[in-house]
Amino acid sequence: MFKEWVYSKDNKDLGLLLLRIGIGIAFIAHGYPKLFMGGAEGLAKGLTVAGIPGGIFAAYLAGAAEFFGGIALVLGLFFRPATFLMAFTMLVALIFHLSKGDPFLKYSHALESGIVFISLIFVGPGKFSLDEKLFGATREPSVRESFELSSKSV
């Protein structure tokens, strides 16, 4: 019984839901000050000093990716495009910190978050998502499943 519970597909989808909600809320909290509390101005100055182009526009784009991307994660809506944009934002953040010579503890958040977002691109939002409800199945058959299906038809 334990094995069925631990390895059930429903539990994987529940785990994805919890991960999406937790990471999504965290990024809503990261993006909100940039968009609505003047945080973009400070970020723009830092980006300019680090040699990253775009200034205030890039800072607002980062805030929008974090805030609206976080909402998309929580809802599981337009999930893969949102996680792609958030992974790109974390790549820029990583470059920003590395160009300043920051130690690992300063850039680890961007690195770890980027890894999570890249992984989520491949995994998808799971069945407890608006993407699943609105657009149908979010998962293609695996290579093994495709092979098994094609060998049955022979």
∠ CA(68), CA(23), CA(78), 5° rounding? 45
Taking residues 114-140, report their average pLDDT.
88
Residues 6 or more apart in contact with residue 35 via CB below 8 angstroms: 60, 63, 64, 67
Domain ranges of the chain: 2-152
Of 4 and 17, the structure prediction assigns the larger pLDDT to 17
What is the percent of the chain where pLDDT is above 90? 69
pLDDT at 136: 82
First to last CA, the chain: 36
Residues 6 or more apart in contact with residue 26 via CB below 8 angstroms: 70
Whole-structure pTM over 0.85, yes or no? no
